[in-house]
Copies of this chain bind each other. A is one copy, B any other.
C-alpha cells in the first residue's frame, strides 16, 4: 500500500519536475541572453514603456485569470473553487518576464518559474484525472519544482511549496511528492548546463551576548524591510490601478517612471536581477543605500504590471542591507549579507523553514544557528501580509498578533 503511494507520486512528481525543470532551463537560458543584451545596450531602457504596454496588452487580450499570476497558483493549490491554470500562462509570463528584464525593469524570476510549474502541474493533473486533494498536491509539486530548478536548491524548493500556501502550517502530506518534483526539476535544469551562483558566508563570528544583540537588531530590521517591500508592492499596484483604468497606459507610464528614477540615480545597477549587488554585498563594497533603491525600483516595476517575481530582488535587498549593517556594527560583511539574504526573503514570503533550509543549501551548516535566528525573527516581525495576497493565515504568528 505504501509501495503504491511511493510509485504513484514518484511518477506524478517526476513528470511535473521534469516539465518544470525543462521550462526553467529554457527560461534561465533566455533570461541570461536578455540580461547580457540589456547590459550591452543601455538604450534599451527607453523602450521599457512600450514593452510594458505590449505586455499589458497581451495579458488584457489573452490573459484572463492568468493575470493573477502566483496568486492563482496558490489559490488553486489551496483548493479554491476549481479554476483552470491555463497553459497560455506559460508563454505570457515567460515573454513578459523576458521583456521586463531586456528593457531594464527591476524584477525577479521565481514568479515565472512557479507559474510555469503550476500551469504544467495543472495539465498533468488533467491528464491523470486527479481528484481535488491530489490536484492540490500536484500544484504544490509545480511550485516546488519551479522554485528548486530556478535557484538550484531542491530542499528549499520542497519546503517552499509545502510552506507558502498557509501561514503557520506546513502541508506535510505533500512533502514526498514535492521533494520528488523539486529533486527531478533541479537535475533536469542542471542537465542543460545551467549554472547557479554560489556565495561564501566566510568567517562566522564567535558567539557572544554582544553579537546576539547585534544580530537581533539586524534581523528585526530585515523583517521590517520585508514588510515594507510587501506593503510597497501592494501600494503601487493599487495606486497605479486606480490612476489608470487602461492597463496599457498604466504600464507605459510605469515604464516612464522607471526611466525617470534611473536618471535620478544616474546608472542602471538596479535594473534586471542585479546579481552584481549580491556579489558586492558579500565583498562588503555595495552602497549603503542600495537596498532601499532596489526595493523602490522593484516595487515600481511590479506595481506597474511588469512580470518576473520578487525573490531575487529580495535577495539583493537583504544582502545589501546586511552588508550595510555589517559596516555599522563592525561585523564581517559576508556573514551579515548571508543573514540578510534569507531574512528579508523569509519576512516577505512568510516561509521561515524553507528560507532557513535555503540558507543551509547555499551557505553551509557552520552558521546554522544564525541563519535560523535570521529567518525566525524576521518572519515574526513582518506581520501577516506577504507578497502573495492569496496566502492564507492558518495560525497567527504569535499570541500578540491575534488581538
- State the A residues within 8 Å of B (CB): 1-2, 4-6, 133-134, 154-155, 158, 168-170, 172-173, 175-176, 179, 183, 352-353, 360-361, 364-365, 368-369, 372-373, 376-377, 380-381, 395-401
* Residues of B contacting A168 in the complex (Cβ-Cβ under 8 angstroms): 172-173
A369 to chain B: which residues have CB within 8 Å? 154-155, 183
In the assembly, what is the distance between CA of A17 and CA of B168, in Å? 24
A5-B399, A360-B365, A365-B364 known; A372 and B169 CB under 8 Å?
no
Contacts of A398 in B (CB 8 A): 2, 5, 173, 176
Q: A398-B2, A398-B5, A400-B5 are in contact. Are A361 and B365 (CB under 8 A)?
A: yes
Q: Is the CB of B368 within 8 A of A133?
A: no
CA distance A68 to B391 in the complex (A): 40
Which residue of B has the minimal Cβ distance to A2? B381
Q: Give chain B nearest CB distance to A130 CB in angstroms.
A: 11
Q: A179-B376, A369-B183, A376-B179 are in contact. Are A173 and B364 (CB under 8 A)?
A: no
Cα distance A5–B380 in the bound complex, in angstroms: 10
Closest CB of chain B to A155's CB: distance in Å? 5
In whole angstroms, how far apart are the Cα atoms of A113 and B206 in the complex?
28
* Contacting residues, chain B, for A1 (C-beta < 8 A): 400-401
Contact yes or no, A372 B4, CB < 8 A = no
* Residues of chain B contacted by A172 (CB below 8 angstroms): 168-170, 395, 397
Would A372 and B179 count as touching, CB distance under 8 A? Answer: yes
Q: Which residues of chain B are within 8 angstroms of A6 by Cβ–Cβ distance?
A: 380
- Closest chain B residue to A364, Cβ basis: B365
In the complex, the answer to whether A399 meets B173 with C-beta atoms within 8 Å is yes
Tell me whether A400 and B4 are in contact (CB under 8 A): yes
* A5 contact set on B, CB distance < 8 A: 380, 398-401
Top 9 A-B pairs ranked by shortest CB distance? A365-B365, A168-B172, A5-B400, A360-B365, A364-B365, A5-B398, A1-B400, A155-B372, A170-B170
